Structure 1
Amino acid sequence: MSSYSDRTRQGMSAVLAGERQGLRGKLLFAGPAIIASVAYMDPGNYATNIQAGAGYGYTLLWVVLLANLIAMLFQALSARLGIVTGKNLAELSRDNFPKPVVWIMWAISEIAAMATDLAEFLGGAIGLALLFNLPLIVGMAITAVVTYGILLFERQGFRPMELIIGAMVGMIGLCYLAEMLIAPVDWGAAAGGMFSPALPDQTALMIAVGIIGATVMPHAIYLHSGLTQGRAAVRSEAERRKVLRFSNVEVVLALAVAGMVNMAMVMMAASAFHQGYAEVAEIETAYHTLTPLLGAAAAGMFLASLIASGISSSVVGTMAGQLIMQGFLHIRVPIWLRRLVTMVPAFAVVAAGVNATQALVMSQVILSIALPVPMIALIIFTSRRDIMGEFATSLLVRLLAIVGAVAVLGLNFVLLAGAAGLDLPL
């Protein structure tokens, strides 16, 4: 009896051969970008978006838009790499770079995977602890069990996991759609903030950099190439071009949804907190402040979306960590061991009494250090004709990727300098 994933692959082959038409056939190709999009709605985004909306109203919405456009480009390139070469970014790095470079890349990527999991794991735990009035450590234990339970579905192939993560993304989106109907959003000011770039002061600059640091994620760049490699059985270059078109459309749609969720986070914080509660900067404070301002329903939906975000992004982070280790080292560890190792730092942080939201922000600093590794490698590989053949990126796409990388890496340098206590002029 064929599995659901096998039937999905057969359906994709029928679409590519022209034997199957219509929207339902095209939806079979959806999945990789939806899973990758979870990284753009993780609890690290909650922390930075709340700070942006509470402190500066709608002023920094343009940063969310810019970060999302850059993310679309790099996720599309990552998907292209997997579709064209049949290998993921970590495998290609292992095959093409000197061994010392590979070991350094792996070490940096593993640290980034742990930092990512710290943010995601803590986010789900904070949501559960607040919603059910539990100690944070109990929320973490529940998050660990639920995450591991979902990861077991990976044994059934790619499709069940795509549907589970897709359902959680849908839940996050619906929660924030409802928030937009409840919160008194000033849509004129929101439009102005989206298309009128401004950075009022040094703190706004740091929050803007934090938004970008929480948006373009190292593990998502690695993972997307792995999710697309060999997913559809391609029999000709014409079919490969079709798969690439489907992939590009999915990337744009999935990350557009992620971008709208992030904008909704900022707008909710702006409408609820900016006038009179501008000091709100922590997830716990935001929840407790939302209840009297917008009602228990709004506060409950905020936590429900945070829990879905934390659990789904923790699952995706573990998948990425597994892919990174297997790609760089040819080592595959049991999923329970991978889950255990990556969640140890989160338990250590809570046991040490570190503020949870501060830990989320610090995890973004660590990710900023790791981000150059996959971005630069991705630009190199997708521009090489000996690797990509006729699907190598054009000069225009290459230039856009370089500009995007320079912008992100430059802003991340500002974030790191600020974290080190250096006073940078605007």
Structure 2
Amino acid sequence: MLETGVKLFNYFRFFSRENRIFLTMKNIRSILFWSIISAAFIGPGTVTTAAKAGSSFGLDLLWALTFSILGTVVLQEAAARLSIVSGKNIGEILSSGKDRKWGQLILIFLSVAFGCAAYQAGNMLGAVAGLNLFTDVSVRVGTVVIFVIGFSLLWTSNFKLITSLLGAIVAIMGFAFIYTALKSDVSALEFTSKAVIPSFPGDSDLLLIGLIGTTIVPYNIFLGNGIKHGQELRQMRIGLIIAIIIGGIISMSIMVVGTQVSGEFSFVNLAETLRSKGGSFIGSMFGLGLAAAGLSSSITSPLAAAITAKSTFNDSRNLWDEKTIRFKSVWISVMLIGLVMGLSGLKVIPVIIAAQAINGLLLPVIACYLLIIVNRTDLMGAFKNGIWLNLISLFIIGICFFVGTNNIFGALSKIAGDPRINNLVQLKLVIAVIGVAIMAWVIIKKNGAKTLTK
């Protein structure tokens, strides 16, 4: 009886007002911190893809976003868990040992940096497109404004400030898109069923793969693995998972908003449709959401490139600390590339196509390498992957192979001017299956059959 009383006392003491507030504030700070991942994957590309999917196919592709969020949670949790448990990031592990694999290190960094730089102009112009929906700011002035805001924040090297502000931007973006989505005619029952039941409408394959590819992004793995946070495992998981789910809800809301478009899809057309149905305020809210998405990605993209450089090249001398000129030179370069492309009117499509092809190669490679690392007992100890997590990860890696192959084939198709190249679905599936089989074999060889069979 006394023991039961003590347990009850401890239980209620744990949930006392003081502890509850402390735990809640701690978790809120963690959610705000990890909103940097949501801010990174909800950019103009995601807004465009999700809204166009809604415009073209209603909510039939909503389930793809559900899967994408699951995949993002699994990969980002593994990357953050690796950092907390081992105290190392991916680049440090790759460069450890007697022989530093400089060729691989440089190739990985250049691939990530090129992708970040290629998308930066689109991020900045996407933010300006959002501003233009409710202001009269010119493209040149808007691009400079976005550049100055991003540059000023990154120059502080205060990641607590940056992540908190990005969390606030995600909150504004979320409010704008969710508020707009709630004004639509979509019922809760339809939304729920479409979110969990897969469907494959005709001619939807490119948008389907695009929804996954704009959410599961390779440089975000380096971002989540390399950024300093000082959190414990449990706190990280709470903040990371909730932040990514919130990001997923925002992406889903964008698709719901896209269902309201009548006629050919464009941001202007979508905003006008929303204004005609719900007034000027809703149209302005959509513009605010698009501007917030572009601004957040304009900050996270250069930051991800710099963190990848630090993860790849840093050593005991700590020459790549966040406040060093080396670290700053990377994100400044990405910011300047975006600014020049935005101001000059250069066609960024060929560059983005090349970036898609590179990211298509990089995504499955990084995902595979991450899975191998988090199965290493010497690094992860009791916190290495379990059987079910390995099986889920292999399935996600299979999708990564498929998405990556599709990006490569899509780039080749545009370069060759032959759309048939991108229609080789069976070949893409074969490559994905072979990739998963090789990964399963590597894990079993390194850790034993029990990692997948018991």
TM-score, L = length of structure 2: 0.78
Partner of 2:409: 417
What is the 5 A alignment of 1:209-220?
209-220=209-220
- Deviation at residue 31 of structure 1 after TM alignment: 4.3
Which has more radius of gyration?
Answer: 2
Partner of 1:222: 222
Overall identity of the aligned pairs, in %: 22
Matched to 1:71, the amino acid is T
- Deviation at residue 30 of structure 1 after TM alignment: 4.0
Distance 2:349 2:126 in 1: 9
1:257 matched to 2:246? The reply is yes
Q: Indicate if the aligned counterparts of 2:364 and 2:404 stay in contact, CA closer than 8 A.
A: no
Matched to 2:409, the amino acid is A
Deviations 1:61-120 (A, max 9, x none): 011111111101011101101111222222222226622222221221221222343332
Partner of 1:283: 267
Partner of 1:298: 282
Give SS of 1:383's match: coil
Partner of 1:176: 177
Out of 134, 138, 143, the residue aligned to residue 135 of structure 1 is 138
Matched to 2:309, the amino acid is M
Matched to 1:143, the amino acid is I
1:197 matched to 2:198? The reply is yes
Partner of 2:258: 269
Q: Number of aligned pairs?
A: 390
Q: Indicate if the aligned counterparts of 1:82 and 1:88 stay in contact, CA closer than 8 A.
A: yes
Distance 1:98 1:320 in 2: 21
1:148 matched to 2:160? The reply is no
- Deviation at residue 284 of structure 1 after TM alignment: 4.0
Partner of 2:88: 87
Distance 2:363 2:118 in 1: 12
Aligned CA-pair RMSD: 2.7
Q: Indicate if the aligned counterparts of 1:179 and 1:298 stay in contact, CA closer than 8 A.
A: yes
Q: Indicate if the aligned counterparts of 2:44 and 2:290 stay in contact, CA closer than 8 A.
A: yes
- Deviation at residue 403 of structure 1 after TM alignment: 1.4
1:341 matched to 2:342? The reply is no
What is the 5 A alignment of 1:109-128?
109-128=112-131
Partner of 1:57: 58
Q: Indicate if the aligned counterparts of 1:290 and 1:299 stay in contact, CA closer than 8 A.
A: yes
Distance 1:59 1:406 in 2: 22
- Deviation at residue 57 of structure 1 after TM alignment: 0.6
Deviations 1:119-162 (A, max 9, x none): 3223222223443223322211110001112223434xx42222
Out of 300, 304, 328, the residue aligned to residue 320 of structure 1 is 304
Q: Indicate if the aligned counterparts of 1:52 and 1:266 stay in contact, CA closer than 8 A.
A: yes
Out of 257, 281, 293, the residue aligned to residue 309 of structure 1 is 293
Out of 232, 240, 248, the residue aligned to residue 237 of structure 2 is 248
Higher RCO (CA 8 Å, separation ≥ 6 residues)? 1
- Structure 1 stretch 171-180 or stretch 344-353: which is displaced more? 344-353
Partner of 1:102: 105
Distance 1:267 1:355 in 2: 30
In structure 1, stretches of 5+ residues that fail to align are 1-14, 233-242
Q: Indicate if the aligned counterparts of 1:113 and 1:320 stay in contact, CA closer than 8 A.
A: yes
Give SS of 2:186's match: coil
Distance 1:210 1:398 in 2: 25
Residue 154 and residue 345 in structure 1: after superposition, are their counterparts in 2 closer, same or farther (change >3 A)? closer
Distance 2:354 2:184 in 1: 30
Deviations 1:159-202 (A, max 9, x none): 22222111111111111221123223244433332222112123
Distance 1:350 1:29 in 2: 34
Q: Indicate if the aligned counterparts of 2:31 and 2:242 stay in contact, CA closer than 8 A.
A: no
Distance 1:40 1:219 in 2: 10
What is the 5 A alignment of 1:64-79?
64-79=65-80
Distance 2:286 2:355 in 1: 22
- Deviation at residue 313 of structure 1 after TM alignment: 2.1
Matched to 1:397, the amino acid is L
Partner of 1:39: 40
Q: Indicate if the aligned counterparts of 1:116 and 1:367 stay in contact, CA closer than 8 A.
A: no
Matched to 1:67, the amino acid is S
Matched to 2:385, the amino acid is T
Partner of 2:9: none
Deviations 1:204-257 (A, max 9, x none): 11001011110011121101112256x14xxxxxxxxxx212222222211110
- Structure 1 stretch 307-316 or stretch 165-174: which is displaced more? 307-316
Distance 1:294 1:367 in 2: 39
Give SS of 1:254's match: helix
Give SS of 2:137's match: coil
Distance 2:90 2:388 in 1: 22
Give SS of 2:284's match: helix
1:387 matched to 2:412? The reply is no
Q: Indicate if the aligned counterparts of 1:26 and 1:246 stay in contact, CA closer than 8 A.
A: yes
Distance 1:79 1:121 in 2: 28
Partner of 2:165: 164
Distance 1:192 1:312 in 2: 31
Partner of 2:396: 404
- Deviation at residue 329 of structure 1 after TM alignment: 2.0
- Deviation at residue 29 of structure 1 after TM alignment: 4.1
- Structure 1 stretch 138-147 or stretch 181-190: which is displaced more? 181-190
Distance 1:283 1:407 in 2: 29
Deviations 1:292-348 (A, max 9, x none): 344321111111112222222222222211111122123536366434411344345
Matched to 2:141, the amino acid is V
Residue 26 and residue 288 in structure 1: after superposition, are their counterparts in 2 closer, same or farther (change >3 A)? closer
Partner of 1:238: none
TM-score, L = length of structure 1: 0.83
- Deviation at residue 26 of structure 1 after TM alignment: 4.1
In structure 2, stretches of 5+ residues that fail to align are 1-13, 414-418, 427-454
Out of 361, 376, 380, the residue aligned to residue 368 of structure 2 is 376
Matched to 2:135, the amino acid is F
